[in-house]
Structure 1
């Protein structure tokens, strides 16, 4: 019988954040925002899909646009024809490079992540005396 997924601790994994300069970073959240803008054609929709306000999504896009020599996202204001947003060639390149870097880091660190996983304490059994889920 295979172990219960709820009792199996998550395996160690990498979450890579690249420091681009003072106050400028690119990590999994901004990469996901870029992907969702690409897929939805909208900063607002991308933000909603991620559970963030339009203001927060717009601020993150502005941060990314300011950090690079060319904007990553091109947006058009709403109106009769509607607005929208799309990744620029630079935005697509940044996203491609970010994914390449994270994949290379994951591959390079796979053996060490497995070794760390083997050193983790196993989760307590559901019926162990230390289980306090019944509120006692």
Structure 2
């Protein structure tokens, strides 16, 4: 079994890869940056840095936050954030399908385990 990992590098403006996309998906699931970070085994600080990097990379933010209080804080994906996740997953699927035969050929040439 092999898998393709996709990273889109925008040069000095930033990058998007599997970790940031998984974080966005976790924020959508948990409605919280800290809970999403915990679910992924990362600190709140690191999760916040990744969210901030995404929000600085694009013209529109990917995540919005609400300050805590009586009703508690939270985070949500913006419409653009949802579109970013969908676009990344679509590119990932298309790239995996386009390279399946090549990757299978390379996998068939791997050194046997323990050799």
Q: Above 0.5 in TM-score?
A: yes
Contact 1:12 1:116 in 2 (8 A): no
1:20 aligns with 2:5: no
Larger Cα-atom Rg: 1
CA distance in 2 between counterparts of 1:111 and 1:97 reads 23
The structure whose residues are more often helix, as a share, is 2
TM-score (norm: length of structure 1): 0.81
How far off is 1:23 after superposition?
5.1
Indicate which of 51, 76, 83 corresponds to 1:61: 51
TM-score (norm: length of structure 2): 0.96
| TM-superposition CA deviations, 1:84-127 (whole Å, max 9, x none) | 00000000001100000000000000000000011001112xxx
Contact 2:31 2:74 in 1 (8 A): yes
1:42 aligns with 2:55: no
5+ residue gaps, structure 1: 1-10, 125-129, 131-136
Aligned length: 115
**Structure 1 residue ranges (4+ consecutive) displaced by more than 4 angstroms after TM superposition:** none
Q: Root-mean-square deviation (CA), in Å?
A: 1.1
